[in-house]
Amino acid sequence: MADFMTETDERSAGVPRPGTAGEPREKAQDSAAGAPDGQEAVAQLERTRALVDPELRTAVESLPGAMRRVGLYHFGWQHADGTPATGNAGKAIRPALVLAAAAALGGPAARTAAVRAAVAVELVHNFTLLHDDVMDRDTTRRHRPTAWTVFGDADAILAGDAVQALALRLLAEDPHPAAVPAAARLAACVVELCEGQHVDTDMERRAPDSVTLDEVLAMAEAKTGALLGCACAVGGLYAGASAEEVAALDGFGRQAGLAFQLIDDVIGIWGDPRHTGKPAGADLAARKKSLPVVAALTSGTPAAAELAALYGEPYLEGGAQDGEIARTALAVERAGGRDWAQAEAADRMARAMQELARAVPDPEAAGGLLALAEFVTRRTA
């Protein structure tokens, strides 16, 4: 599932910021007026790491033997040989959303109470990363070899299993009255994440013309939006939020997650390789059925037919196909895939803002969540 760490560090693209955010967004922007773009979110993420990391690390260190070793490696606290590493456990977007949602509706006391739940959400995220890397045969994660390349498939799978269990154990041992509904919600989210990952791998195997835009949007919501929504909802539970507020927080996180995925997919095609750290058009060369590509394929335009023909054949590295990636990107663009994705991202951010206004009517209080949503969807850094 998507990891914001690399993308936000390394990718950049000119993506329009949603212009229809309405009252809460503008007010909240005012409230962060002293901070330049993204600085408020960066400060939040740093505070989150400081609050969450000690308990996260204690939890991972409570694992036995090999589970502990793989866990400490995956989170960046140990090298493969077990010696200490400086640590690079990602940007902590999800725990930051938990804490920001708790603070938005319950103030600093709720934020403090929700730290353990934030740790649980981060553990769930990392369990999915451990397993997805095995399934997708991804070899690099956070600039380091993935756990399965170092410890083998079996230990990476087992460590993921143990990290999922650890997350739900933390909540079961948390005496806070929100811990039990939070655990139920997080467990339901895991099921959704699993189905999202299934649909993703399944779609990649299918013929390009058999995938619908609704399918790929539903997949992105399950795979990326669900856990962002769950993080916000869990934070709300710890603030004693009503069922309506919790549902709106979930919707906020889901829509922001979809906006993120749309923008990430645009950058995957048109992003500057100097910033993305990936060769230009790597997603196209891999014939990935990303959101702009499926929008283009299903557009009914002449360019869609050209794109389908290109996607029908595997990309071969080397001279014979020089210029093919550029032609493929152009076909996606001419079929409207780029414009659609950018408009859809803006629309999803607008929906996220509406949900946020429903959940947290006070723009001042909503500022933290808003800054995080803008941080993950803004790519002009």
Q: Which is nearer to a copy of itself, 186 or 360 (CB)?
A: 186
Residue that the structure tokens 């080397």 belong to: 318
What is the rounded distance in angstroms from the CA atom of residue 125 to the CA atom of residue 5?
Answer: 13
Q: Does 159 bind a copy of itself (CB under 8 A)?
A: yes
The single-letter DSSP state of residue 82 is: S
Long-range Cβ contact pairs of 281-284 (< 8 A, separation 24 or more): 281/325, 281/326, 281/328, 281/329, 284/315, 284/325, 284/328, 284/329, 284/332
| Contacts with a copy of itself, 263-282, as mask; x by CB under 8 A | --------------------
Q: Which is nearer to a copy of itself, 16 or 152 (CB)?
A: 152
- Closest approach, Cβ 65 to a copy of itself, in A, equals 5
Which string of DSSP letters, residue by residue, matches 25-61?
HHHHHHHTTTS-TTHHHHHHHHHHHHHHHHHHHHHHH
Q: Which stretch binds a copy of itself (CB under 8 A): 77-85, 158-166, 235-243, 298-306?
A: 158-166
Selected binder of a copy of itself within 96, 98, 101, 162 (CB under 8 A): 162
Q: Does 188 bind a copy of itself (CB under 8 A)?
A: yes
Selected binder of a copy of itself within 99, 168, 211, 332 (CB under 8 A): 168
99: left (phi over 0), alpha (psi -120 to 50) or beta: alpha
Selected binder of a copy of itself within 30, 54, 138, 172 (CB under 8 A): 172
- Closest approach, Cβ 137 to a copy of itself, in A, equals 10
Query: Binding to a copy of itself (CB under 8 A): which residues in 17-76?
Result: 63-67
Q: Which is nearer to a copy of itself, 223 or 378 (CB)?
A: 223
Cα-to-chain-centroid distance, residue 116:
20
Type of residue numbered 240: G
Q: Does 184 bind a copy of itself (CB under 8 A)?
A: yes
Tokens (6 digits) for 123: 């553990």
Distances (CA, A) of 367 to 29, 76, 150: 7, 31, 41
Selected binder of a copy of itself within 1, 42, 85, 187 (CB under 8 A): 187
Count of other CB atoms within 10 angstroms of residue 288: 18
Task: Kindly determine how many residues on this chain lie close enough to bind a copy of itself according to the rule CB under 8 A.
Answer: 43
- Residues written for the chain: 381
Selected binder of a copy of itself within 106, 160, 225, 253 (CB under 8 A): 160
Q: Which is nearer to a copy of itself, 176 or 278 (CB)?
A: 176
- Closest approach, Cβ 18 to a copy of itself, in A, equals 30
Neighbouring residues of 216: CB distance < 8 A, sequence distance ≥ 6? 203, 289, 290, 291, 294
Q: What is the largest CA-CA distance in the chain?
A: 64
- Closest approach, Cβ 70 to a copy of itself, in A, equals 9
- Closest approach, Cβ 266 to a copy of itself, in A, equals 27
- Chain contacts with a copy of itself (rule: CB under 8 A): 63-67, 127, 131, 134-135, 153-155, 157-162, 164-166, 168-169, 171-173, 179-181, 183-184, 187-188, 190-192, 194-195, 197-199, 201-202
